[in-house]
Amino acid sequence: MSLNNDQQISGLLFTPYIESTAANNKTVNAIQGYPKAIAEKIYQATRTFPEQTQVAIAVLDQDKPHYYGVQKHKDKIQAQANQDKIFAIGSLTKVMTSTILAELVTQNKIKLDDKINPYYAFPFKDNIQVRFQDLANHTSGLPRLPSNLEVDDDTDPYKEYDAAKLEEYLKNSLELEHANNSGKVPHYSNLAVALLGQSLSQSQNKDFAELLNEYVFKKYGMKHSYTSPDQAAKQLVSAFDAQGKEITTWAFDTFLPAGGVLSTASDLTRFAQAQLDAKNAAVQLTQQATTEQAGSYQLGLGWFVREQENGTKIIWHGGNTAGHSAILMIDLNKKKAVTILANVAVVHPEMGNIEKLAAQLLQE
């Protein structure tokens, strides 16, 4: 997640926000089979979404998952068993990329403070040196996006940005927007995590998709998680823009590590379960705050981390593409996690309801 000039989440997006139509909405709560209080919270959060919107919700509580999927159909919010349907998870992918980093660190294959530069056959512009950790926790000083990424057409903006374009940028245009970041205040960067994934691939001589399969998907039993829309086609939920028009599900090349995974509520619940394993050294490493305070949170490796005065520790990350949105929020003390996936654009004016709903369900 990131914030635009109006303090609104922009993530991987370039499109502007639109005005709310909530006041004129006449959608009916037709949810059956769920606890009444939960059904009402879900209805209030989703009633303004476009027709055919699906929202897949998973609540993991003390090792037991509960699923509360819904779909909007003919102005009714109805229960829908969609925990195995596939959605693009956008920037939530970044936590998985950092998980790979943590796995390699705990296996002594690389170190957090190692420079990535030796893994490239060319010098970076101005001999800029970059560390693995600084890419994972957004303290590298890199801009949000590279200057040679064409964003005039946002129908599928990351599909054509390949390794050759990244190399061109690193050689000729690399810059640090926050070069004097000695205090290690995080500045959210999609470029940083794309570069992290590329560097992990270089360090292990493996494609990034291969690393994802080895260290995340296979390790945690995520059998319905993928790295391209083509792989996920049969179970992929169509992407909708804020007005309910079906649009292209984004594909990724070099920016796959920053936002290209597609997954299900049930698979992400398995990933959440792993975060509660005190014996898993890699996931424990990702959850440790590594930056200064930025508002109410710090950054771990990938995770946003909030430690409250009462000892409660919450970790979370969201994700947004043009037509899908996601959030995973975990209370490490209560051993409870909430996953929400939706096939509606984050630019929808009520999309903030999804994060609020996740927080409400986490507190119950």
| Predicted local confidence at residue 14, as pLDDT | 46
| Predicted local confidence at residue 350, as pLDDT | 85
Say yes or no to pLDDT of 4 above 80: no
2 within some domain: no
Say yes or no to pLDDT of 1 above 80: no
Q: Any bridge partners for residue 76, and if so which?
A: 28, 73
Contact 326/239 with Cβ under 8 angstroms? Answer: no
Q: CA 107, CA 322: separation in Å to the nearest integer?
A: 37
As a whole number of Å, the end-to-end CA separation of the chain is: 25
209 within some domain: yes
Across 141-154, average pLDDT: 86
Q: What confidence tens digit (pLDDT) does each residue in 159-216 have?
A: 999 999 999 999 999 999 876 655 588 999 999 999 999 999 999 999 999 999 999 9
Q: What confidence tens digit (pLDDT) does each residue in 34-92 have?
A: 999 999 999 999 999 999 999 999 999 989 999 999 999 999 999 999 999 999 999 99
| Predicted local confidence at residue 184, as pLDDT | 83
| Predicted local confidence at residue 179, as pLDDT | 67
Give the model's confidence band at 7: pLDDT under 50 very low, under 70 low, under 90 confident, else very high: very low
**CA angle, 215 then 81 then 35, to 5°:** 110
Residue 158 sits in a domain of what CATH number? 3.40.710.10
| Predicted local confidence at residue 154, as pLDDT | 66
Across 97-112, average pLDDT: 98
Give the model's confidence band at 351: pLDDT under 50 very low, under 70 low, under 90 confident, else very high: confident
Say yes or no to pLDDT of 9 above 50: no
| Predicted local confidence at residue 19, as pLDDT | 45
Contact 40/50 with Cβ under 8 angstroms? Answer: no
304 within some domain: yes
From 303, 280, 281, 241, select the one nearest 106 (Cα to Cα). Answer: 281
| Predicted local confidence at residue 180, as pLDDT | 62
| Predicted local confidence at residue 266, as pLDDT | 98
Number of domains in the chain: 1
Burial of 73 (0-12, 13-18, 19+ CB in 10 A): middle
| Predicted local confidence at residue 10, as pLDDT | 42
| Predicted local confidence at residue 185, as pLDDT | 86
193 within some domain: yes
239 within some domain: yes
Contact 322/154 with Cβ under 8 angstroms? Answer: yes
Name which of 149-158, 200-209, 340-349 the model is least confident about.
Answer: 149-158
Q: By percentage, how much of the chain surpasses pLDDT 70?
A: 91
DSSP structure class, residue 301: S
233 within some domain: yes
Across 298-309, average pLDDT: 94
Q: What residues make up the domain containing 335?
A: 87-363
Name which of 16-20, 62-66, 77-81, 144-148 the model is least confident about.
Answer: 16-20
From 307, 276, 264, select the one nearest 289 (Cα to Cα). Answer: 307
38 within some domain: no
49 within some domain: no
Contact 252/157 with Cβ under 8 angstroms? Answer: no
